[in-house]
Structure 1
Amino acid sequence: GPMLNGATSVMWEGAPDYPDKDAWWEVCERYGVTILYTAPTAIRAAIKWGVEYPERHDLSALRLLGTVGEPINPKAWAWYHKVIGGGRCPIVDTWWQTETGGIMISPLPGLTPTKPGSATKPLPGIEAAVLDKDGEEIQEGQGYLVLKRPWPSMLRTLYREDDRFVETYFEKFGRETYLVGDAARRDEDGYFWILGRIDDVINVSGHRMSTAEIESAIVSFEHVAESAVIGQEDEDSGQAVTAFVTLKGGAEADDDLESSIREHVAHRIGKLARPKRIIWADDLPKTRSGKIMRRLLRDIAEGREAGDVSTLREPGVMDDLAEKVRERGDEDDE
């Protein structure tokens, strides 16, 4: 997109906190960056580091902010808008996939009224819908996100695997309905709220809950910078909620804080959503693009050997987390 339009692009290679935690903001000021596009994970990391880093720099050239890669929680959205955008820059929360070849659902900056945490509505020409398990469209509620009309940049097949292409994307609801693989909720205004991958839904005692919704509730707690939630096998409830939580600088992890977070989640969502286990984490396993690898967290929490870690930005995070899980297990046994 930017190249086809002849736009100058500035790309940062390396960690966002080297040589210091204001690396991105220094680049924005130096080159007069006007559009910033990043992942919610990076925004939450910046929140954890503190406002003093962006406040060192003149970010007044910015006119548009974008977010991509995973659902953004409202707390991170509000911080991004206020601290980085100075309250003046529209935020485009964009939903798309490698397979779609371009953005599918996103607000039009300055035109679409936004709701923090919602990707809002499909772009012109894109027909998205939320379906139940029987393929019936849900006008208001939660279900499977699908695309119902073809578009120019769509994936044509998988290399040498035509049958798997059809099986993965078109088998569930028929060959004219593209199954995205994400769960989504549609609200009373027709806005789409992406809830994460279909397999990132936890079933606690027969109640299905989105990990993204629980994570958003945890991160809205004042001392929390970041969280990743998984469903862990549980003899009593089938699955239990386990939360890996990173605190803001200065906050101290203890039993009182753990109880407060649980009650906060119960108040925001309901008692069934309260984490059964909270693991304090200095960092989370993330790819180089900033996505949290929840499958690796499931491996650690359930005592399995971790899968492929070659795509992680900091593979050493896994050893640290495994040690914290073992420590927590010893505490639970006492």
Structure 2
Amino acid sequence: TSGTTGKPKGILHTSGGYLTQTSYTHNYVFDHKPGADVYWCTADIGWVTGHSYIVYGPLSNRATQVVYEGTPNFPDEHRHWQIIEKYGVSIYYTAPTLVRTFMKWGKEIPEAHDLSSLRLLGSVGEPINPEAWRWYREVIGANKTPIVDTWWQTETGSIMISPLPGVAAAKPGAAMTALPGISSKVVDEEGKPVVLGETEANGYLVLDEPWPSMLRGIWGDNERYRETYWARYAEQGWYFAGDGAKLDTDGDLWVLGRVDDVMNVSGHRISTAEVESALVGHSGVAEAAVVGASDETTGQGIVAFVIL
């Protein structure tokens, strides 16, 4: 995963804790029923979402699942809906970027297929905007399926914050509340809890208790591990997630995105410095500066300013 200093870092996990929490969260967040459900996580298997929710979690829960690494538009834009219809997929877990892409292609494409097998929809990788959330539920979920909007990171290893289907109500675009056994806070720079209902992005998301699948370090760089995740709230012993957050008047949590120099592009965290380094590595580039820009499809797009 990318960090604020540009070079991608290798996150260390332990097999026992990682397996325990991916199994637990796959079972309860997706309300998985072995033998009855057909589960499909559309992530790249080499991304942490694929590790956690294509390999470890589903296999430990004896899931019948679809594993597909092709593009969603080959041979045409009907591909995903054909797969759901053919195999009777009941649980579908994908990224907001793909939902917004489907929106662009038009609802006529999914409406041409029988998606009645779907009973649960999931979102992962970035905050899902309310418009995409509503389209996802109304068009793909026939306005009846629950949506689990999941927040977690490569570092956390497993889902940490999400509504539970049949237990917690959901709001379009809100991560809602930490799962049972997980403890989170939204605090200011000094570690004081934010005021409920504040509309400004003045809070930081922290995890104030340990969890089974938590990261154990950064490969070969213990100092960076301490500085990135623990230094900001060292006195309290809290894990700093690097995301801005707020609590609404009901106390439900909204994740507002990155607060560092890391862009979230289609759910993938990419450092601005990492892209700048790649650009200036070209013989024809003298200087480069990279920023993230709002993009209606990918959440954030990469904008590069280059001097030749």
Aligned 1:108-127 pairs, distance under 5 A: 108-127=164-183
Are residues 55 and 76 of structure 1, via their aligned partners in 2, closer, same or farther at CA, if it must alter by over 3 Å? same
C-alpha contact 1:130 1:143 (8 A) present in aligned 2:
yes
Aligned to 1:51: 107
Output one character per residue of 1:278-316: Cα deviation in whole Å (capped at 9) or x when no partner: xxxxxx7xxxxxx6564x32x2xx4468xxxxxxxxxxx
Aligned to 1:168: 228
Q: Distance in 2 between matches of 1:162 and 1:200?
A: 21
- Which amino acid in the other structure matches residue 153 of structure 1? S
Aligned to 1:40: 96
C-alpha contact 2:293 2:300 (8 A) present in aligned 1:
no
Shift of 1:11: 2.2
In the alignment, structure 1 residue 69 sits paired with structure 2 residue 130? no
Shift of 1:245: 5.6
C-alpha contact 1:81 1:88 (8 A) present in aligned 2:
yes
Correspondent of 1:144 among 204, 208, 216: 204
Are residues 172 and 82 of structure 1, via their aligned partners in 2, closer, same or farther at CA, if it must alter by over 3 Å? same
Are residues 62 and 116 of structure 1, via their aligned partners in 2, closer, same or farther at CA, if it must alter by over 3 Å? same
Shift of 1:243: 5.7
> Following TM superposition, where does structure 1 have runs of at least 4 consecutive aligned residues deviating by more than 3 angstroms?
241-246, 291-294, 302-305
Secondary structure of the structure 1 residue equivalent to 2:98: helix
Q: Distance in 2 between matches of 1:110 and 1:25?
A: 25
C-alpha contact 1:101 1:153 (8 A) present in aligned 2:
yes
Q: Distance in 1 between matches of 2:230 and 2:212?
A: 17
Secondary structure of the structure 1 residue equivalent to 2:92: strand
Are residues 136 and 304 of structure 1, via their aligned partners in 2, closer, same or farther at CA, if it must alter by over 3 Å? farther
Are residues 304 and 3 of structure 1, via their aligned partners in 2, closer, same or farther at CA, if it must alter by over 3 Å? farther
Q: Distance in 2 between matches of 1:200 and 1:77?
A: 27
Secondary structure of the structure 2 residue equivalent to 1:47: helix
Q: Distance in 1 between matches of 2:87 and 2:194?
A: 46
Gaps of 5+ in 1: 202-210, 213-229, 231-240, 247-283, 285-290, 306-334
In the alignment, structure 1 residue 189 sits paired with structure 2 residue 250? yes
- Which amino acid in the other structure matches residue 101 of structure 1? G
Q: Distance in 1 between matches of 2:143 and 2:118?
A: 11
Correspondent of 1:89 among 139, 145, 152: 145
Instruction: Name the % identity.
Output: 52
Q: Which has the higher contact order (CA 8 A, sep 6+)?
A: 2
Secondary structure of the structure 1 residue equivalent to 2:84: helix
Q: Distance in 1 between matches of 2:250 and 2:240?
A: 23
C-alpha contact 1:184 1:192 (8 A) present in aligned 2:
yes
Q: TM-score if structure 2 supplies the norm length?
A: 0.67
C-alpha contact 1:130 1:139 (8 A) present in aligned 2:
no
Are residues 200 and 63 of structure 1, via their aligned partners in 2, closer, same or farther at CA, if it must alter by over 3 Å? farther
Secondary structure of the structure 1 residue equivalent to 2:217: coil
Provide the aligned length of Structure 1 versus Structure 2.
222
- Which amino acid in the other structure matches residue 182 of structure 1? D
In the alignment, structure 1 residue 177 sits paired with structure 2 residue 250? no
Aligned to 2:186: 130
Output one character per residue of 1:32-56: Cα deviation in whole Å (capped at 9) or x when no partner: 0000000000000000000111011
Secondary structure of the structure 2 residue equivalent to 1:164: helix
Q: Distance in 2 between matches of 1:166 and 1:199?
A: 16
- Which amino acid in the other structure matches residue 47 of structure 1? M
C-alpha contact 1:12 1:24 (8 A) present in aligned 2:
no
- Which amino acid in the other structure matches residue 188 of structure 2? D
- Which amino acid in the other structure matches residue 180 of structure 1? A
C-alpha contact 1:92 1:109 (8 A) present in aligned 2:
yes
Aligned to 1:274: none
Shift of 1:63: 0.6
Q: Distance in 1 between matches of 2:152 and 2:248?
A: 19
Q: TM-score if structure 1 supplies the norm length?
A: 0.62
C-alpha contact 1:16 1:24 (8 A) present in aligned 2:
yes
Shift of 1:190: 1.2
Secondary structure of the structure 2 residue equivalent to 1:119: coil
